[in-house]
Structure 1
């Protein structure tokens, strides 16, 4: 596996995380030193699951970095004839592609790609990992609070099926913040400490809401959307009890009126669309890293 691949947050040291965040912030500034010699870079986006934000923020980032981009469509490829993921990835490597961005429904799909020598960026694996979503969440919090330690974060909703919950917990705890979880009991996850959501919204600096991942089998029988919102979601009443400085995050897509009241999606405390903008910046920084460029402050 290429040393510049990014598969899980464990591939990054704390120093690596802050280097990526710093690069992302410089991409969003008047800094003029970011132009990189990569106009011939060929990147393939292999998305085996539906995606809007991750897919097209990666493509936006790639194009802004000067890459040549191809979007892979599994339904009209040899995957439909039974080709394995490894053989698909190996084919892209053999015909001259320089980097692969992959999203797949299978947890840790990347374990079968260890012999691929070009960098692979994980755009989400099953309910396992989503490192670039985690990095954009971290950038949003870092920009808001100026630090990533001693923050209090509640992640609420479908914890069991969420790769975001896993990656964010992994990184935030390592950086010195406290993460708790809230939601239906049937979606709790071993080793993920829980807190009553009504108490958590008053305690937290960051309230991270998650949707119900029905495509992974998540469902609560006999409960309407309105009932779920009232019992487990971010209602206007809970919003009013948040701390003055606290913010709302959500990896999206948002199911309005289910995990969050629709009027709160763009409320004053919401950073949901800010996260999306930050996603492009972070993915530019991750692509830069994948091609072996040093952090900006180390460049000569």
Structure 2
């Protein structure tokens, strides 16, 4: 049985709490799995992994499931829509139930921020954060960093612009913590009502013109559901002021790459023709998610 210290060391709740050494180890192990020609390496064939998604995400869940199955793990998929949570069972009781059944690690995605940390203090299995509220999304940031390292060789010294709804973005936060620890310079660009004031001491806010003068331009998904509460005047107005239009993309530096955590609202935060342009790394990002999550799951279980 794992000790509390072992459980904590093998869990991945966020990048803010990881050291540079731990991030480097995960990225190196990602490269190892990325370079394996054989798709199935059953090093976890006797282990049980549960994907516990209390918030929908097709891409993230499939990416984790692909990673788990490539490692040979036995996979249990749990979605709140088809669970006892709808009947009032608490998230804690659900996780404890699956823990009692014998799972070795839990991958969890939650809407409320802070709940995952509380869960981690009460259970005796490693937990992996697949996105919690507007707090963190560590595996997304790791795959982003791995994508950048493949493009530039190293992360130290890179200038990375993250553009969009910073206030509600867990991707922006995890990238900020991870990239700065690796020696990259992060800057934000956002409409006034989408800024996160608490992050201002860690990264400056710049204009869209200044943001485009970077090695990496990362566009965030515009959460169109927020139109109803008045955060956006219109999708077209957002595109005009903050979108990566074809005209803006044409002005990017020769070595600049374009990234996006997806799903993409084409012709809103990024023009359709730019999504699959030569500078875009959006689809390679998705591919890189599998070896990153293989590295994270392996670390949690072995």
Indicate conservation of the 8 Å contact 1:151/1:177, yes or no. yes
Q: Deviations over 1:73-128 (max 9, x none)?
A: 22332212211111111111101111110000000221221121111000000000
How far is the alpha carbon of 1:6 from its aligned partner?
Answer: 0.3
Q: Quick one: distance in 2 between partners of 1:159 and 1:28? A: 30
Give 1:7's match in structure 2, choosing from 5, 8, 13: 13
Q: Which residue of the partner structure matches residue 150 of structure 2? A: 143
Distance 1:217 1:66, change over 3 A: farther
Q: Deviations over 1:47-83 (max 9, x none)?
A: 1111122110000000000011111122332212211
Structure 1: unaligned runs, 5 residues or longer: 293-300
Structure 1 window deviating more from structure 2 (34-43 vs 234-243): it is 34-43
Give 2:251's match in structure 1, choosing from 233, 241, 245: 241
Give 2:58's match in structure 1, choosing from 43, 52, 56: 52
Is residue 38 of structure 1 aligned with residue 50 of structure 2?
A: no
- TM-score, L = length of structure 1: 0.92
Give 1:134's match in structure 2, choosing from 135, 141, 144: 141
Q: Quick one: distance in 2 between partners of 1:218 and 1:206? A: 31
How far is the alpha carbon of 1:218 from its aligned partner?
Answer: 7.9
Q: Which residue of the partner structure matches residue 274 of structure 2? A: 264
Q: Quick one: distance in 2 between partners of 1:131 and 1:277? A: 16
Distance 1:289 1:11, change over 3 A: farther
Is residue 27 of structure 1 aligned with residue 37 of structure 2?
A: no
How far is the alpha carbon of 1:270 from its aligned partner?
Answer: 0.2
- TM-score, L = length of structure 2: 0.91
Structure 1 window deviating more from structure 2 (18-27 vs 58-67): it is 18-27
Give the alignment's Cα RMSD to 1 decimal: 1.8
Q: Which residue of the partner structure matches residue 182 of structure 2? A: 175
* Structure 1 residues 84-163: aligned runs within 5 Å: 84-113=90-119, 114-163=121-170
Structure 2: unaligned runs, 5 residues or longer: none
Q: Which residue of the partner structure matches residue 295 of structure 1? A: none
Indicate conservation of the 8 Å contact 1:161/1:216, yes or no. no
Indicate conservation of the 8 Å contact 2:23/2:178, yes or no. no
How far is the alpha carbon of 1:12 from its aligned partner?
Answer: 2.2
Q: Quick one: distance in 1 between partners of 2:260 and 2:114? A: 23
Over 6 Å off, 4+ runs: none
Distance 1:218 1:264, change over 3 A: farther
How far is the alpha carbon of 1:215 from its aligned partner?
Answer: 4.8
Q: Quick one: distance in 2 between partners of 1:285 and 1:104? A: 22
Distance 1:242 1:205, change over 3 A: same
Distance 1:28 1:137, change over 3 A: same
Kindly tell me the number of residue pairs found equivalent between the two proteins: 290
Q: Quick one: distance in 1 between partners of 2:152 and 2:217? A: 14
How far is the alpha carbon of 1:176 from its aligned partner?
Answer: 1.3
How far is the alpha carbon of 1:224 from its aligned partner?
Answer: 3.0
Indicate conservation of the 8 Å contact 1:212/1:219, yes or no. no
Distance 1:222 1:59, change over 3 A: closer
